Structure 1
Amino acid sequence: MTLANTLAALPLAVRKLNPRTMVHSPVMFTVLIGSLVCTLVSVQQLAAGSPAAVFSIWVTVWLWLTVLFGNLSEAIAEGRGKAQADSLRAARTSVMARRRVPARVSAPSGAASGLGAGFAEELVAGTDLAVGDIVVCEAGDLVPSDGDVIEGLASVDESAITGESAPVIRESGGDRSSVTGGTRVLSDRIVVRITAASGKTFLDRMIALVEGATRQRTPNEIALNVLLASLTIVFVVCVMALAPMAQFAGALPTPVVLVALLVCLIPTTIGALVPAIGIAGMDRLIQHNVLATSGRAVETAGDITTLLLDKTGTITYGNRRAVEFVPADGVDPRVLAATARLSSLADETPEGRSIVELALPRAGGSGPVTGPVTGPEELTPDVEVIEFSAATRMSGLNLPSGHPANPGTGVLEVRKGAASAVVSYAKERGGFEPQEVEEAVLEISGTGGTPLLVAVFDGGRARILGTIHLADVVKPGMTARFAELRAMGIRTIMITGDNKITAGAIAGEAGVDDFLAEATPEDKLEVIRREQRAGRLVAMTGDGTNDAPALAAADVGVAMNSGTSAAKEAANMVDLDSDPTKLIDVVGIGKQLLITRGSLTTFSVANDVAKYFAIVPALFAATFPGLGLLNIMGLHSPESAILSAVIFNAIIIVLLVPLALRGVKYRAVSAARALSRNLLVYGLGGVIAPFIGIKFIDLAVALIPTIG
């Protein structure tokens, strides 16, 4: 919390002094009423020339500062959100859209060229688009509104939304079909079906939520406010009952003293910080590029007991990667690597690129079985590329004589593919499947991997050189993260459409607690409902339309921004970075929010103990000398004691604002240990800090002649 942020938030804090705003916080509204009463009393005393006017004015000033500081904490938190909203608003620009219309509708002058049979384009303002309209976006165009790609594939710059400079691919027919208004198409051409009307786009909702305009109080926050209101009512009754008792004893305090007593005894610290804690929790999520549609979702994340994670793209990289080459007997491993690389040079799939990447450092100077490589391996025009097809289940190259990788006199055929397909290919050309290759295929399959065979044919007899082991690789650090979740008391379940063997292998490697293989959307939904029936709170990530029912049913559903509109609408959080593992961070932020609120509540209530020892002896020590024993702080005078307590009560709010915004650090420990630490640090600390603070303030206040 910098000085600049504080000064910028002051005007908003002053505006929040409006009673219609303050009434939503029972504690601070009570302080506001007390400040008004003290102001009237001070003016009356000043007009009458009473010596008590100076003391009353000092108390009144600090009571008003208490109200202002309470508003300041919320204003600073909201100021952060407004700054983020301004940066998001900069991405929302008014653009012209190329809307697709039937060809029979005459396009206005300036309309773009036709789209083909039956369609034309018309230029319209992006704000005029309606749900269901179809627009065309090409390289350099801004996407006019939220939608789903229904034709084409393009590279899109989403840095204005996510802050990530690297472009992303958006394409039709998959789980990465969603585009957001305000992003820019960098290459190619896409056709988009609009899914959000003007003013209701994803960016509009983000701005409203970040600014806090639609922030609703969470159940825990409501419960805490009820508790604080109840405590306030109790202390109001106690102070009101104190007046006639004090009058009977001949020691009736002034209204200013009674208000000071009330303000110091009610939980003003936590009452002032509750809104800031909630807003800061949302802010921490946004700093992680996660948008929560409600504070309830953030709090619920802190109580999650079951976490469902999709295997593909979450626990694993999502694309099978080459992890090992297993050569047949008598085959140089470098020869197998070089041949596998050759077979994948024209393969643009993630699997093909991973084979080239793995083979490059292992190939050495050796080429295919026919001889060493004497020159660069290039896809020259005379090289015939054999594309993969469902019929052949193989791909590769036909290298002509004279190619650097083919020193022979005939065409060299290089193939890689499914084991059964490559074995059939080799046998048709006089080859056979070596026993060790067959064993390698069975072993790789048994561990959940995918075996690919590599073969060559130079016109004589085909040879199977060995096996490529493809595996869905677990992301680094996942095992440690799941162990951390287990320490939090969270059970992890991996969801996958893979067979049980593959799922079991990945689950064992990753360290999840359970897994569900060959899962359908109905299966995911049933797992969530089963966990909820057992009294557990469930969180889930997803990005596809088939994930939407489960995302809606989960207590916390996190959709990927790259996913479909259906998934984002069903979830109560959206990850702008499309990083499924971030759900683990979301759980930590939710727990931090709950711990922060609990810790500061403990500190606030504990504060009252010290204030009691400061004010009560000051009020009645003159009438009842025995109460002087309670003045264990040795405060200078009744007036300095009361004013010191009021000043401390105001200053402690400001000192705790950074902690409320930053949050109490969460540690993955048991609930019992967390409670013990909370009581030791914030309970005992809340008792000790006021004794020290009030004493030092009293020493300074005693120097004021009219008070000390």
Structure 2
Amino acid sequence: MSSTASQTKRKSMLSGDIVKQAIVQSFLKLNPVTMMKNPVMFVVEIGTFIVLLMTVLPGYFGTQDRIGFNLTVFLILLFTVLFANFAEALAEGRGKAQADSLKKSKQEIQANKVVGSGIKVVPSTELRKGDIVTVAQGEMIPGDGEVIEGLASVDESAITGESAPVIKEAGGDFSSVTGGTRVVSDAIRVRITSDPGESFIDRMISLVEGASRQKTPNEIALNTLLITLTLIFLIVVVTLKPIAGFVNVELDTAVLIALLVCLIPTTIGALLSAIGIAGMDRVTQFNVLAMSGKAVEAAGDINTIILDKTGTITFGNRMASEFIPVGGASTGEAATWAAVSSVKDETPEGRSVLELMKKQNLVYEASLAEGGEFIDFKAETRMSGIDLKDGRKVRKGAVDAVVRWVQEQGGTVPADLKANGDAIATEGGTPLAVAVDGKIYGLIYLKDTVKPGMKERFDTLRQMGIKTIMCTGDNPLTAATIAKEAGVDGFIAESKPEDKIAVIRKEQAEGKLVAMTGDGTNDAPALAQADVGLAMNSGTIAAKEAANMVDLDSDPSKIIEVVGIGKQLLMTRGALTTFSIANDIAKYFAIIPAMFMLAIPQMEALNIMKLGSPLSAVLSALIFNAVIIPLLIPLAMKGVKYRPMSSTKLLSRNLFVYGLGGVVVPFIGIKIIDLVVHVWI
């Protein structure tokens, strides 16, 4: 996705409309049927309802003298539930905003369906899997499909946000097309691969809206823990009533409910669902469609990443890296004629020759090429070049092709040409010979260049404890050179599809989680075998169906960022869980002594916060419990900032920051609130 489109999308995620809708949903979610999906907050809602009855029916409960206190407790509890609902609704609203923008690209499209030997125009909703349609320049592709005939340039900006069109052609790894995109040149014939309601956009809308989001195994486990803690504290609070009676301390129901809400893990219970939805949302904002929350979580636990060399670690285009003179010529002469032959060459290789000249501070007379006739590269000649206006002919191309051309000109072949050419080829590079009339001046060493910053990115992954393995079809010598330059931990040379599956299974057999990227049909088995498979949107349908993530931008190196997002999700959940449980422990030791110190003077020693009274202690803790939820919503939405480090260091840091912080913050917060509340009551 372009940076502008990305910024626009992120800005829309924070619009006032989303906040307004979230506020409305906060009240609608008070429906008990909805609240039961969050057991912790459902317990809080039940307590809120009981206190409401005690407030409006004080005579029935014998609490006529506590109406003001009960009303205060009710309002605080109500806001606690509303804040929890608001966090979830806000996260869902961000996803729905993304879905709305996608729905704009999903519209009723007229399709040119092939029927027999003719064409029938039908609505796209009538198309079924297996139907064949034709799409010409300016027309919308009516559904997900595979190009079976022709070649065309397709504008996918409605899906990816990227303005540059992409080439789609029959056969190979770039035959997959998405419904709702537009053909901007030529025409293609497409076989529809999905029924109505099952298209790529339909699935994406459903996922980002949250309709298909299921709780992940980690979420379910944590939810079970929260329910267990809630039951334990429920038993503790219930048993406090007879204990209080034994020591002549009166505890009414409203106080016990307030105490229960303070002690159960309401903070993480309120934010747990929002954290999961926000994690999926962050992946989607990064233009990656995750088929499930489980895939995002798995990315956070990855131990090994399998990466293709071409297009992922390297640019995939062979670029000029060195000028090698032959036959007694100088480096300057070889470079000059290489540049002259490339002045009008718009291919990546031709442009790279001129860039190498600048990089090496070499100069040449550009005027030599003025008025000359450029000779395009042709498969038959395997050369390109320029015929200068002074009659000289300059050629650049495959060594054997240039040798034949020079010999036809009556020239001779330098004795050191073959040895230098073979040396380049042995290292996995491509030698291009440069000649003027009957003389060969030198060779251009073309090699696939490692993308800038890849070494630093792999160093970052290493700090995370993640091993990287590069797969390439290059010979072992070239593979080793690229691997060393890129900084990967290992490589597989002369790699075949079955080699990728073998290395994935080997890593998994050692108890490791593996991620890989791919775009071709031959990558599908490995993508399915990997714990996290990231398929390119530009790739084949087979690859996208086998993977559990699809990158709309078709950037293979994005798997590195996806892993970081997964780790951020796990870290956010872990950090806020730690903070929440630490909060509960602190509140327990803050409230209980204050409640019993009137009947048991010795407990005054445990009232280290010097809270004013039992009632002010309960209200202060209850208010703090309600206020901390909205204060943590931005952190749940944005995620805890992830810093690459080992698991041990990360755990220690979280325990110190969020564990210790979770103990200290409520002590300070409750004390400050108590100073105000004690005066008020």
TM interval, short-chain normalised:
over 0.9
Question: Structure 1 residues 85 and 243, CA, compared in 2 at 3 Å: closer, same or farther?
Answer: same
State the alpha-carbon separation in 1 of the partners of residues 54 and 450 from structure 2. 71
Question: Structure 1 residues 398 and 492, CA, compared in 2 at 3 Å: closer, same or farther?
Answer: closer
Which of 87, 90, 104 is the matching residue for 2:101?
87
The corresponding residue for 2:434 is 454
TM-score, reference length from structure 1:
0.89
Which of 376, 380, 383 is the matching residue for 2:371?
376
The corresponding residue for 2:22 is 9
State the alpha-carbon separation in 2 of the partners of residues 5 and 699 from structure 1. 36
The corresponding residue for 1:221 is 219
The corresponding residue for 1:290 is 288
The corresponding residue for 1:407 is 390
Find the residue that maps to 1:535 and give its secondary structure. Answer: coil
* More deviation, 611-620/68-77: 611-620
Structure 1 residue 517, shift from structure 2 partner = 1.4
State the alpha-carbon separation in 1 of the partners of residues 395 and 222 from structure 2. 68
Find the residue that maps to 1:396 and give its secondary structure. Answer: strand
The corresponding residue for 1:230 is 228
State the alpha-carbon separation in 1 of the partners of residues 585 and 72 from structure 2. 23
* More deviation, 525-534/145-154: 145-154
The corresponding residue for 1:650 is 626
Question: Structure 1 residues 323 and 692, CA, compared in 2 at 3 Å: closer, same or farther?
Answer: same
* More deviation, 636-645/551-560: 636-645
State the alpha-carbon separation in 1 of the partners of residues 86 and 225 from structure 2. 22
Question: Would the aligned equivalents of 1:448 and 1:505 in 2 still touch at CA under 8 Å?
Answer: no
The corresponding residue for 2:585 is 609
Structure 1 residue 364, shift from structure 2 partner = 5.0
State the alpha-carbon separation in 2 of the partners of residues 234 and 378 from structure 1. 87
User: Given residue 433 of structure 2, which amino acid in structure 1 is its aligned partner?
Assistant: L
State the alpha-carbon separation in 2 of the partners of residues 656 and 236 from structure 1. 25
* More deviation, 264-273/184-193: 184-193
* More deviation, 595-604/174-183: 174-183
User: Given residue 68 of structure 1, which amino acid in structure 2 is its aligned partner?
Assistant: L
The corresponding residue for 1:281 is 279
The one-character-per-residue Cα deviations of 1:26-66 (angstroms, maximum 9, x if unpaired) are 21111111112212222222676711111011111111111
User: Given residue 271 of structure 1, which amino acid in structure 2 is its aligned partner?
Assistant: G
Find the residue that maps to 2:450 and give its secondary structure. Answer: coil
Structure 1 residue 234, shift from structure 2 partner = 0.8
State the alpha-carbon separation in 2 of the partners of residues 141 and 175 from structure 1. 23
Find the residue that maps to 1:307 and give its secondary structure. Answer: strand
Find the residue that maps to 1:473 and give its secondary structure. Answer: strand
The corresponding residue for 1:323 is 321
The one-character-per-residue Cα deviations of 1:335-377 (angstroms, maximum 9, x if unpaired) are 544544565678665435544665699885548xxxx827333
The corresponding residue for 1:187 is 185
Structure 1 residue 317, shift from structure 2 partner = 0.6
1:419 aligns with 2:417: no
1:494 aligns with 2:470: yes
Question: Structure 1 residues 639 and 46, CA, compared in 2 at 3 Å: closer, same or farther?
Answer: farther
Question: Structure 1 residues 537 and 374, CA, compared in 2 at 3 Å: closer, same or farther?
Answer: closer
* More deviation, 277-286/170-179: 170-179
User: Given residue 278 of structure 1, which amino acid in structure 2 is its aligned partner?
Assistant: G
Question: Would the aligned equivalents of 1:346 and 1:396 in 2 still touch at CA under 8 Å?
Answer: no
Structure 1 residue 695, shift from structure 2 partner = 1.4
Question: Would the aligned equivalents of 2:428 and 2:474 in 1 still touch at CA under 8 Å?
Answer: no
The one-character-per-residue Cα deviations of 1:216-249 (angstroms, maximum 9, x if unpaired) are 1111111100111111111111112222222233
State the alpha-carbon separation in 2 of the partners of residues 2 and 94 from structure 1. 28
The one-character-per-residue Cα deviations of 1:291-323 (angstroms, maximum 9, x if unpaired) are 101010111111101000011100011121222
Question: Would the aligned equivalents of 1:448 and 1:506 in 2 still touch at CA under 8 Å?
Answer: no
Question: Would the aligned equivalents of 2:357 and 2:363 in 1 still touch at CA under 8 Å?
Answer: no
State the alpha-carbon separation in 1 of the partners of residues 37 and 390 from structure 2. 85
Which of 346, 363, 388 is the matching residue for 2:379?
388
The corresponding residue for 1:524 is 500
Percent identical across equivalent pairs?
A: 58
Find the residue that maps to 1:187 and give its secondary structure. Answer: strand
* More deviation, 289-298/622-631: 622-631
Calculate the aligned-residue CA RMSD, in Å.
2.3
Structure 1 residue 3, shift from structure 2 partner = 6.7
Find the residue that maps to 1:434 and give its secondary structure. Answer: coil
Question: Would the aligned equivalents of 1:414 and 1:455 in 2 still touch at CA under 8 Å?
Answer: yes
User: Given residue 650 of structure 2, which amino acid in structure 1 is its aligned partner?
Assistant: A
The corresponding residue for 1:40 is 53
State the alpha-carbon separation in 2 of the partners of residues 32 and 182 from structure 1. 45
Question: Structure 1 residues 363 and 153, CA, compared in 2 at 3 Å: closer, same or farther?
Answer: farther
The corresponding residue for 1:99 is 113
State the alpha-carbon separation in 2 of the partners of residues 374 and 315 from structure 1. 36
State the alpha-carbon separation in 2 of the partners of residues 415 and 194 from structure 1. 47
1:240 aligns with 2:238: yes
Question: Structure 1 residues 363 and 150, CA, compared in 2 at 3 Å: closer, same or farther?
Answer: farther
Question: Would the aligned equivalents of 1:338 and 1:360 in 2 still touch at CA under 8 Å?
Answer: no
* More deviation, 462-471/36-45: 36-45
The one-character-per-residue Cα deviations of 1:150-179 (angstroms, maximum 9, x if unpaired) are 222222222211112222222222222221
State the alpha-carbon separation in 1 of the partners of residues 668 and 188 from structure 2. 67
Structure 1 residue 2, shift from structure 2 partner = 7.4
State the alpha-carbon separation in 1 of the partners of residues 344 and 15 from structure 2. 56
Question: Structure 1 residues 569 and 488, CA, compared in 2 at 3 Å: closer, same or farther?
Answer: same
Structure 2, unaligned runs of 5 or more: 1-13
User: Given residue 200 of structure 2, which amino acid in structure 1 is its aligned partner?
Assistant: F
Structure 1 residue 564, shift from structure 2 partner = 1.0
Structure 1 residue 93, shift from structure 2 partner = 1.1
Question: Would the aligned equivalents of 1:154 and 1:169 in 2 still touch at CA under 8 Å?
Answer: yes
The corresponding residue for 1:588 is 564
Question: Would the aligned equivalents of 1:343 and 1:396 in 2 still touch at CA under 8 Å?
Answer: yes
State the alpha-carbon separation in 2 of the partners of residues 703 and 192 from structure 1. 76
User: Given residue 78 of structure 2, which amino acid in structure 1 is its aligned partner?
Assistant: W
State the alpha-carbon separation in 2 of the partners of residues 386 and 5 from structure 1. 55
Find the residue that maps to 1:416 and give its secondary structure. Answer: strand
State the alpha-carbon separation in 1 of the partners of residues 397 and 370 from structure 2. 26
Find the residue that maps to 2:434 and give its secondary structure. Answer: strand
Question: Would the aligned equivalents of 1:454 and 1:465 in 2 still touch at CA under 8 Å?
Answer: yes
State the alpha-carbon separation in 2 of the partners of residues 245 and 438 from structure 1. 96
State the alpha-carbon separation in 1 of the partners of residues 467 and 174 from structure 2. 29
The corresponding residue for 1:554 is 530
Structure 1 residue 568, shift from structure 2 partner = 0.8
TM-score, reference length from structure 2:
0.93
State the alpha-carbon separation in 2 of the partners of residues 374 and 148 from structure 1. 45
State the alpha-carbon separation in 1 of the partners of residues 510 and 327 from structure 2. 55
The one-character-per-residue Cα deviations of 1:117-150 (angstroms, maximum 9, x if unpaired) are xxx3221111111112221222211111111222
Question: Would the aligned equivalents of 1:136 and 1:190 in 2 still touch at CA under 8 Å?
Answer: yes
Structure 1 residue 195, shift from structure 2 partner = 1.2
State the alpha-carbon separation in 2 of the partners of residues 660 and 507 from structure 1. 38
State the alpha-carbon separation in 2 of the partners of residues 2 and 93 from structure 1. 25
Structure 1 residue 627, shift from structure 2 partner = 1.5
Question: Would the aligned equivalents of 2:383 and 2:398 in 1 still touch at CA under 8 Å?
Answer: no
More helix per residue: 2
Question: Would the aligned equivalents of 1:614 and 1:642 in 2 still touch at CA under 8 Å?
Answer: no
Structure 1 residue 531, shift from structure 2 partner = 0.8
State the alpha-carbon separation in 2 of the partners of residues 347 and 286 from structure 1. 39
User: Given residue 537 of structure 2, which amino acid in structure 1 is its aligned partner?
Assistant: N
State the alpha-carbon separation in 2 of the partners of residues 612 and 198 from structure 1. 55
Structure 1 residue 692, shift from structure 2 partner = 1.2
Question: Would the aligned equivalents of 2:274 and 2:637 in 1 still touch at CA under 8 Å?
Answer: yes
The corresponding residue for 2:130 is 132
Structure 1 residue 427, shift from structure 2 partner = 4.5
Question: Would the aligned equivalents of 1:175 and 1:543 in 2 still touch at CA under 8 Å?
Answer: yes
Question: Would the aligned equivalents of 2:128 and 2:194 in 1 still touch at CA under 8 Å?
Answer: yes
Find the residue that maps to 1:373 and give its secondary structure. Answer: helix
Structure 1 residue 449, shift from structure 2 partner = 1.2
User: Given residue 567 of structure 2, which amino acid in structure 1 is its aligned partner?
Assistant: K
Find the residue that maps to 2:449 and give its secondary structure. Answer: coil
Question: Would the aligned equivalents of 2:133 and 2:191 in 1 still touch at CA under 8 Å?
Answer: yes
The corresponding residue for 2:645 is 669
Question: Structure 1 residues 670 and 557, CA, compared in 2 at 3 Å: closer, same or farther?
Answer: same
Question: Would the aligned equivalents of 2:470 and 2:483 in 1 still touch at CA under 8 Å?
Answer: yes
Structure 1 residue 252, shift from structure 2 partner = 3.7
State the alpha-carbon separation in 2 of the partners of residues 87 and 475 from structure 1. 33
